[in-house]
Amino acid sequence: MRAIFGTKEELGSSGVVWNGIEDRATDAAPHVLSEGDAIEIWIARWLRVRPRALVARYRCDSRRLYEVWWGERFPASRAKAEAIFRQRYPGLVERTSFGYRRIPVVAPEAEERRQLSLFDR
C-alpha cells in the first residue's frame, strides 16, 4: 500500500490516506470517559471483553480502564453496572464473579470435590 502524505488542508481532517481511505483512528482525539462509559466498561469486563478492544472502542489509554476497575474514577459505577448486568443478562448472573478479580479464587469446599487425591498412592 502506498501512503499519500500531505498537509491537513490538502487531505482533509486526516493526515494520511491509504488507497483513498482516510485513517481517522490515528487522528481521533482521546475520549474522556463518563460514568455511563464506566458502567459499560464494567459490564464488558464481566462479559470477558479484552482490554485491548475496550481501549480501541473508547479511544483511551488502558490506564483509564484500570482507574475505573480499581475505583479511582466513578467508584459508584460498579454497583450500578452490577444491577444493569443482572437485568440484561439474567442467565449469566450465576456464572459471573462480580468481584475485582478476573478469575475468582477457589472456595475451600470446592477443593474437597477435586479428585487430585486419586493420584496419591
- Regarding whether 43 and 18 lie in a shared domain, the answer is no
- Regarding whether 38 and 24 lie in a shared domain, the answer is no
- Regarding whether 74 and 21 lie in a shared domain, the answer is no
Whole-model pTM: value is 0.61
- Regarding whether 35 and 24 lie in a shared domain, the answer is no
Q: How many Å apart are CA 6 and CA 22, to the nearest integer?
A: 12
Helices (H), the chain: 8-11, 35-46, 51-58, 62-69, 77-88, 108-113
State which H helix or E strand residue 21 sits in: strand 21-22
- Regarding whether 50 and 2 lie in a shared domain, the answer is no
- Regarding whether 36 and 9 lie in a shared domain, the answer is no
Tally of domains in the chain = 2
- Regarding whether 73 and 55 lie in a shared domain, the answer is yes
Question: Given pLDDT bands bounded at 50, 70 and 90, which one contains residue 6?
Answer: very low
- Give the number of residues written for the chain: 121
Residue pointed to by grid coordinates 483512528: 25
- Regarding whether 21 and 50 lie in a shared domain, the answer is no
Q: Which domain holds residue 23?
A: 1-28
Backbone angles phi, psi at 77, to 5 degrees: -70, -30
- Regarding whether 44 and 17 lie in a shared domain, the answer is no
Mean pLDDT over the full length of the chain = 75
- Regarding whether 19 and 52 lie in a shared domain, the answer is no
Q: What is the pLDDT of residues 83-112, one digit of tens each?
A: 999 999 999 998 888 876 655 556 666 666
Let me know if residue 113 belongs to a domain. no
